[in-house]
Every structure is written in C-alpha cells, then in structure tokens.
Homo-oligomer: A and B are copies of this chain.
Amino acid sequence: MAVRANATARADIASRKQAFVREEILASAIGLFAKRGYRAVTIDDVATNLGYTKSVVYYYFKSKNEILWQLFQRTFELFFESAEAIRKEKLPIDVALAKMLRLHAVNVMKHRDTTAIWNRDESELEPQQRRQVRQMKRDYDAMFESVFEEGVKQGLFREMPPHVAVGGMLGMSNWLYVWYDDKGPLSPEQIADYFTALLSDGYRKPSGSSRR
C-alpha cells in the first residue's frame, strides 16, 4: 500500500509539473508572439526563452500552430465567460450592459499581449480554425447585441442597428490593445469607467443639464 501511495503521489507530482510546464510554455510564447509577431518566432525561441531545448516544447505542443490555437481558444473563453457570467446575474438591462462593457475593456487591458495576438495573427491560423474564430466572434457579439436590443425594447436605450452599436462599443475597447500603456497614470479600471460613462451618456452634457 505504501508503495502504491507513493506511486500515486509521484504521478500526481508529475502531472502537476506537466501542467505547470505547459503554462510556462504558453506564457513564454504569448510574450514573444506579442512582441515580435507570430511569424517571426520559432519553437526554438520559445524554448530558449525558458532555458529548455525545443524537444521539451514539442513534448507539450506538436507545432507552433497548436500553441497559437490554444491561445485563441483561451482568449475566447476568458472574454465569453466574463460576459456570460454577468448575463446570468439577471441584472437590470442597463446595469448588465454597462458591466459587460466595463469588463470587456478591463480584459483587453489586463491581457493586452493575448489580445494583440488575437487581433493581429488571426491570419496565421488554419482555414478551419479561422472559421471557428469567426463563429466565436459572432457568439460573443450576439450576447452584447441581445442585451442591447432588450434595452431598446424596454425603452432605455436609443434605437440603432444592434451590430453597429455593439461593433462601435466593443471596438472602442478593442483598440486599447494599440494604445493602452500599463506604465501610464490610469489603471485599467479607471479607463474602463471613463469608457463606460462615455458610451452610456456621451461626451456632450445634455442641454439643460444644470436643472438635473
């Protein structure tokens, strides 16, 4: 029994180590892809960056494409699950949309490397993977569009084509991957608050605002 327990413990340690190394490789790849672009980075670079030989990387990922695809799937899961969790809270619709938009912006800034890869290197995926990515985007946008439409139906939001409104609102934050500076004076949360206020109420003070 002691032998068996030891074997189980060893297997457990080995499997935890494997999960750890896998994450380590992904993190290394994210950093390099974001900095130099997917195409310019080799499996050798990913390995050397961690002090491994490339055979270690190949033990976990059969190709550079598999790493990239893993990044795309995870990025989608992060964004989709963030929005879905808020959607499931059954909040008043204006509160729900504001919260979803705010978290979208925060996620772009907090995961800027992954977002940059997602936005820049989609063309490097296989055709079949690109089709899946298009579906992911549609699913994600559809969640925001349905919330927006519900707000219009309830008379809370202005009428406009939902895909234009959502394209604009998410686009405002997606663009942060280009200019957000994590050494700047504002935190992701502060910028996200400004964006949410700008989107919900506009930059213009309502005329007669002194009476409000």
A90 at the interface (CB under 8 A from B): no
Interface residues of A (CB under 8 A from B): 37, 39, 94, 97, 119-120, 123, 148, 151, 155-158, 160-161, 164-165, 167-176, 178-179, 186, 191, 194-195, 197-206
A7 to chain B, nearest CB (A): 51
Output the nearest chain B residue to A155 by Cβ-Cβ distance: B205
- In-complex Cβ contact of A201 among B39, B158, B175 (8 A): B158
The secondary structure that dominates the A interface is helix
Q: How far is the CA of A157 from the CA of B204 in the complex (A)?
A: 4
**CB contact under 8 A between A175 and B174, given known A157-B204, A168-B198:** yes
Contact present for B204 and A156 (CB under 8 Å): yes
Chain B residues, Cβ within 8 Å of A120: 120
Which residue from B148, B171, B206 sits with its C-beta under 8 Å from A171?
A: B171
Chain B residues with Cβ below 8 Å from A174 are 171, 175, 178
Pair B168/A194 contact, Cβ less than 8 Å: yes
A37 touching B123 by the CB < 8 A rule?
yes
Which of A120, A161, A172, A176 has the largest count of B CB atoms less than 10 A from its CB? A172
Measured between alpha carbons, how far is A194 from B160 in the docked complex, in Å? 7
**A178 touching B168 in the complex, CB below 8 Å, given contacts A37-B123, A202-B200, A204-B201:** no
Whether the pair A164, B191 counts as a contact (CB closer than 8 A) is: yes
Q: How far is the CA of A168 from the CA of B176 in the complex (A)?
A: 8
Contacts of A157 in B (CB 8 A): 203-205
Interchain nearest-CB distance for A163 vs B (Å): 8
